[in-house]
Structure 1
Amino acid sequence: MGARELRTLVEGGSFFEGPRWHEGRWWVSDFYTHSVRTVDPETGADAVVLEVPGQPSGLGWLPDGSLLVSSMTDHRLLRRTPDGDVHVHADVTEHCGGHLNDLIVDGEGRAYAGNFGFDLMNLAAPEPTSLVRVDPDGTVHREGGDLWFPNAMMISGDTLIVAETFGGGLSAFTIAADGSLTDQRVWGQIAPRVEPGSVEEMLPNLGYAPDGCTLDAEGHVWAADGLGGPLCRIAPGGDIVDEIELPEDLAVFACQLGGDDGRTLLMCAAPDFLEVNRRDAREAALLTTTVEVPAA
């Protein structure tokens, strides 16, 4: 527990997010170089596949192979077709209380996306928000509510799990036949919820701030801690059953299981998450390690 060899795969990013394993490569967004990149899992060689002026975040793929990307600051989902054409798949501005954030796409091509709910980088007062569902034809629907900074999402069967970074845990929904989300409930409470207040009041008391997450074959979740703590494996209910210690100068803000056998854990690491510190620096890294339980 905690004692695993870490390998540095890539260095020199601004702030990596939205890691995915797809078609034998890693895919990541790099916030402040405004780029979506692919990364060779052996050599770390990377290539830009899409530039996103509005700052890229979540990534997913439609059944036809098109790439969907969250464009954070202008609240749009961009669609890059297999032949390289890029257009706006949906504008979800009316449902965003802050930057558009992570997303996931289900097997029917429905995209689910979260948003900050408030202006985090300028330390505005946190507010609850909702998810949005974007159907394959681009129509937009509000889903759920009272979510405190909905972040990474995972799908297991007919269940969607979402990390609440300012809620100290993960919530779950049942996905209905039409894609709507029902039966909102707690999946796992890692740390007690704190009373709403300012960012300065809430952050020191969160205990755990689940950020980027990935689901394994035993139904457990590896969850980054946005407060800079160890990367932890969370059991249903919220108990921490494993953790990975990190170098003193880095914290992990997102992770993903992948590799040919699904046992490689990719970690998006940086000294902190603050835009004022990350925008012009090139100190972010992609780290990997091997875990026992493969990806779901």
Structure 2
Amino acid sequence: MRAEPLGPVRAELGEGPVWAPEEGRLHWLDVLGQARHVTDPETGETQTHPLPRLTSCLARRQGGGWVAAGGQALHAVEEGQDGPRLAALPEGTYGRFNDGKCDAAGRLWIGTANAEGRFDCHLYRIPPGGAPERVVDGIAMSNGLGWSPDGRVMYYADSTAQALYAFDFEVGTGALTNQRRLFETTGDEVPDGLSVDAEGHVWLALWGGGRLVRLTPAGEVAAEVHFPTPRVSSCAFGGAGLETLFVTTAKEGASEEERAADPMMGALFRLDPGIAGLPVAMFGG
């Protein structure tokens, strides 16, 4: 598998790719650049929309439009404009929202993160019309989320713990049980965003390692893709038949010398993995 850069944009912190099938476009974020990019998968042509705040997560909404999470709040996004606040963490809560994704029941699962390495953050679920509910404690840098094709297993990455976890998942109640470590990294390589394919394998971005690994449901490495830049941050399936994998990268933390020597740093990439992805659920309401 060969990853190719797509378009001219170089993000400071590329993250949160989401395929919009009704548009035939990929939406993705530059978190630190406070921008939402919308990219044509064939030409790489990209429209850039400024955001009013640091935004770490986007999700399509069943009733139309999008939701966006940033800081400690979840907002509606309607016709590209910032809308009303839908939910927020209680005042005084430690950490900020990071990566998130919706389950089949329309709940948004999103965790908090901090830059201090403290394991004082949490994974939350936000039901449509409800307040954030704390589900998993002892998190430092909450990141990628995804579900098995049958919806009975949830995958979840904590970057600072250098671990990808699996949980048994009950879609009716949103309950998590039987937490186990599925995959671990070492050194400067940490798990980041992820996506699950139609065969139930997990595609996990490894920040600092310049690679994407495809993991079996048992956590074994079945394949890997190498990139010409080290900070691989997230991935999402899209395109016709969900047969293209889009991968974001970043510049964050790189020196001026590293940036000058790496023209691919912060680029959006695409590759053809030979297997389709799964449709991504939308936020309810």
Per the alignment, residue 270 of structure 2 pairs with: 288
Deviation of 1:208 after TM superposition, in Å, equals 4.2
- In structure 2, relative to structure 1, the CA distance for the partners of 1:66 and 1:270 (3 Å cut) is same
Per the alignment, residue 37 of structure 1 pairs with: 37
Deviation of 1:178 after TM superposition, in Å, equals 5.2
CA contact 1:233–1:241 (8 Å) conserved in 2: yes
Deviation of 1:10 after TM superposition, in Å, equals 3.6
The aligned length equals 269
Deviation of 1:82 after TM superposition, in Å, equals 5.1
- In structure 2, relative to structure 1, the CA distance for the partners of 1:96 and 1:245 (3 Å cut) is farther
CA contact 2:100–2:145 (8 Å) conserved in 1: yes
CA distance in 1, matches of 2:85, 2:255: 28
- In structure 2, relative to structure 1, the CA distance for the partners of 1:180 and 1:143 (3 Å cut) is same
Deviation of 1:146 after TM superposition, in Å, equals 2.8
* Counterpart secondary structure, 1:139: coil
Moved over 6 A (4+): none
CA contact 2:104–2:171 (8 Å) conserved in 1: no
Per the alignment, residue 46 of structure 1 pairs with: 46
* Counterpart secondary structure, 2:56: strand
CA distance in 2, matches of 1:183, 1:37: 36
CA contact 1:39–1:47 (8 Å) conserved in 2: yes
Q: Deviations over 1:29-59 (max 9, x none)?
A: 112331222111112122235x433211111
Per the alignment, residue 263 of structure 1 pairs with: 243
CA contact 1:95–1:142 (8 Å) conserved in 2: no
- In structure 2, relative to structure 1, the CA distance for the partners of 1:13 and 1:5 (3 Å cut) is closer
Amino acid at match of 1:31: V
Deviation of 1:96 after TM superposition, in Å, equals 5.1
* Counterpart secondary structure, 2:32: helix
> For structure 2, which runs of at least 5 residues remain unmatched after alignment?
279-285
CA distance in 2, matches of 1:142, 1:17: 23
* Counterpart secondary structure, 1:224: strand
CA contact 2:3–2:269 (8 Å) conserved in 1: no
Deviates more, 1:37-46 or 1:96-105: 96-105
Q: Percent identity?
A: 26
Deviation of 1:144 after TM superposition, in Å, equals 1.8
CA distance in 1, matches of 2:234, 2:253: 15
Among 65, 76, 82, the residue aligned to 2:73:
76
Higher RCO structure, 1 or 2 (CA under 8 Å, sep 6+): 2
